[in-house]
Each structure stands twice: as C-alpha cells, then as structure tokens.
Amino acid sequence: MNVTFDLDGTETTVDVPPEKPLRDVLREDCDAKSVKDACDSGRCGSCTVLLDGTAVKTCLVPAAQADGQSVTTVAGIEDGTLGREVQDALEEHFALQCGYCTPGFVLSALSYLDDDPSADREDVRSALGGNVCRCTGYEKIIDAVADVAADLE
Ligand code: FES
Ligand code: FES
C-alpha cells in the first residue's frame, strides 16, 4: 500500500504493508532514526512522534493510519518554537544522559504543553508518565518541562 504523509515538512510516500508499525516505517523506510525503539508494546514511549500534532506511540500505530497526516519527529522541531524551548530546558537541567529516551520525552512534553500551557509540576509528571528513562531518575526531566510550563503562564 502507498502511504503518503508529511514528514517534518517533506511530503513522503512509502510502499509498505498497511499494518507495518509506523515506528518501523519511519526508521526503516524513511531513515528517521530519532524515532527510537525499545519495546513493541507501548510501554516505553521512545517511539513517540506527533501525528497531526498529537503525541502517539508509533509502535502501536499501523502505517495506514498515517496516510494523509503530518508526522513530526524531534528532527523536525525548528528554532524559536516551543519544542526547541523544551529541548533547551532539558539540556540546561542536565536532564539527559544517554539521550535514548529524549526524543520521546520532548514530543510528549510538546504535545501536552500545546494543549495545557498552564500545566503545573504534577500535571507534567502525569503527562510524561508514559515515557520511560533508565538513566535520569525523572526529576530533572520534570524540572525542565515544568520550567517551560511556568514560562508559558
Ligand atoms: S517502542 Fe513504542 S512505546 Fe516502546
Ligand atoms: S537519558 Fe538514558 S534512557 Fe533517558
């Protein structure tokens, strides 16, 4: 099946089985390696992208569902945007170590803050609850995103 979507601003068409996980389409057919894979069951969040602006775990999304939609990976985040603010805050708070989880956290945070700019620290903790980090202990990540939220108020 031909699946066409906007990938970080570029119209992209791939010929893939409709049930192929979007994560694998992005990594294998589009070379979008910022989309990570660490489980196959929606438990880690490392494969998160924005699908028409909403954070989704792409290991759970069949390719056919992306047809006609926009897909934003962390590579598509531009300077001067809220997504860049989140990335900068993570760096400033030393909230990443190996960085494997970071693209997923950035996109989950971006999607959430877009919907709820008045989020407080506990809102942020809850919003990022679907993303797993093996390195940081989470607190610095929460600090970083909560700081961005505070600046939005
Ligand atoms: S790889 Fe998709 S949630 Fe873990
Ligand atoms: S920084 Fe290593 S998994 Fe999060």
pLDDT tens digit string along 45-69?
999 999 999 999 999 999 999 999 9
Give the residue, out of 102, 106, 107, 108, with the most ligand 2 atoms within 8 A of its beta carbon, to mutate for a pocket test.
102
The model's pLDDT over 2-59, given as tens digits with 9 standing for 90+, comes to 999 999 999 999 999 999 999 999 999 999 999 999 998 999 999 999 999 999 999 9
User: What gap in Å lies between CA 21 and CA 9, rounded to an integer?
Assistant: 21
The ligand that comes nearest to the alpha carbon of residue 108 is 1
Based on DSSP, count helices (H) and strands (E) in the chain, helices before strands: 5, 5
Give the tokens for residue 75: 């590579």
The reply to whether ligand 2 has any atom less than 6 angstroms from the CB of 136 is yes
pLDDT reported for residue 3 = 98
pLDDT at 153 over 80: no
pLDDT reported for residue 118 = 87
3-state secondary structure of 86: helix
pTM, rounded to two decimals: 0.96
- How far apart are the CA of 45 and the centre of ligand 2, in A? 12
For strands 2-7 and 10-15, give the pairing: antiparallel
Residues contacting ligand 1 via CB (< 6 Å)? 23, 37-39, 42-47, 57, 59
Give the tokens for residue 87: 């990335």
The ligand that comes nearest to the alpha carbon of residue 23 is 1
- Rounded mean pLDDT, 97-104: 97
Give the tokens for residue 34: 């910022």
Give the tokens for residue 140: 């610095």
Give the tokens for residue 109: 């945070």
The model's pLDDT over 118-143, given as tens digits with 9 standing for 90+, comes to 889 999 999 999 999 999 999 999 99
pLDDT band at 117 (very low <50, low <70, confident <90, very high): confident
The reply to whether ligand 2 has any atom less than 6 angstroms from the CB of 14 is no
- How far apart are the CA of 35 and the centre of ligand 1, in A? 10
Atom of ligand 2 nearest to the CA of 95: 1
